[in-house]
Amino acid sequence: MKEINLFGRIILSGYIRAVTGLHVGKGKEGLMIGGVDNPVMRDALTNQPYIPGSSLKGKLRSLAEKRDPATQPNKSIGKGVTIHVCNDPECRVCRIFGIPGQEQATAPTRLVVRDVFLEKESAESLKALDSDLPFTEVKYEAAIDRITSEANPRPLERVPADALFGPFEMVFNIYQDDDHDLLATLIEAMALLEDDYLGGSGSRGSGKVRFVNLEVKFKPVAVYGDAGVDISTMGFESLEGARSAIDSIIEKSRQEIQVPKVAGAA
pLDDT by residue, tens only, the chain of 266 residues: 567 899 999 999 999 999 999 999 875 544 444 456 689 999 999 999 999 999 999 999 999 999 988 888 888 887 778 888 887 888 999 999 998 766 676 678 999 999 999 999 999 999 999 887 999 999 887 667 667 767 667 788 999 999 999 999 999 999 999 999 999 999 999 999 999 999 998 998 999 999 999 999 999 999 999 877 889 999 999 999 999 999 999 999 999 999 998 654 54
- Residue 213 near residue 15 (C-beta atoms within 8 A): yes
Sequence-distant (≥ 6) Cβ neighbours of residue 182 within 8 angstroms: 92, 95, 96, 110, 172
Q: What is the dihedral of CA 116, 118, 120, 121, to 10 degrees?
A: 140
Q: The pTM is what?
A: 0.89
Alpha helices in 51-97 (DSSP H): 53-67, 92-97
Determine contact, residues 206/196, Cβ cutoff 8 Å.
Answer: no
Q: Report strand pairing: 151-158 vs 137-144.
A: antiparallel
- Dihedral sign for Cα 18, 21, 25, 30, please: positive
Task: For residue 178, give every residue at least 6 positions away whose Cβ sits within 8 Å of its Cβ, in sequence order, or none.
Answer: none
Gap between the Cα atoms of 150 and 13, Å rounded: 47
Residues 6+ apart with CB under 8 A from 203: 197
Enumerate the domain spans of the chain.
8-29+41-131+159-256
